[in-house]
Homo-oligomer: A and B are copies of this chain.
């Protein structure tokens, strides 16, 4: 899947930046592709968003936050996310309903999603804010950090 030969990833020679990053690492495959094969699927980012930002951890709770996703698709996505190591299914005993929790890898998608939110807040303010005024990332995450169980810089 990751066509290593052609997509050499970020190589300083190929960067469009005048100040290219000299000690830039060399990739065997494409780093964008390798994340996107799982995160790029429909609804996955939204699912991780409900878990990471909205503290949602149960199946039908996710469905109320993302009404358009059908049970079958949600179940499939959660399985894929579990296999890929982003979430884990926790069922204390078979009587209690299972809960879904982010793994460390899953928590590390928060900065990506934060950047997505920042992008929307800047470029789609007319539909997202009542005052229709674009917001910068430091206005959305004022402390430059969002933390709790985990601490992540989002600047």
Interface residues of A (CB under 8 A from B): 2-3, 6-7, 9-10, 14-19, 21-36, 39-40, 42, 45-46, 49, 52-55, 64-68, 85, 105, 108-109, 111-113, 115-124, 127-130, 135, 139-143, 146-149, 153, 155
Contact = CB atoms under 8 A, between A and B. Distances in A.
Contacts of A3: 67-68
B149 A32 contact: no
Contact of A52 (B7, B16, B22, B111): B16
A36 B46 contact: yes
A29 B116 contact: no
Give the 7 A-B residue pairs with the shortest CB-CB distance, closest first: A17-B148, A16-B55, A31-B120, A31-B117, A112-B115, A35-B120, A32-B49
A147 to B, nearest CB: 6
29 contacts: A7-B66, A9-B128, A10-B117, A14-B55, A15-B148, A16-B52, A16-B54, A16-B55, A16-B148, A17-B147, A17-B149, A19-B147, A21-B140, A22-B142, A25-B139, A27-B129, A28-B127, A32-B49, A32-B113, A32-B120, A34-B127, A35-B117, A36-B45, A39-B116, A85-B123, A108-B122, A109-B119, A111-B118, A155-B155
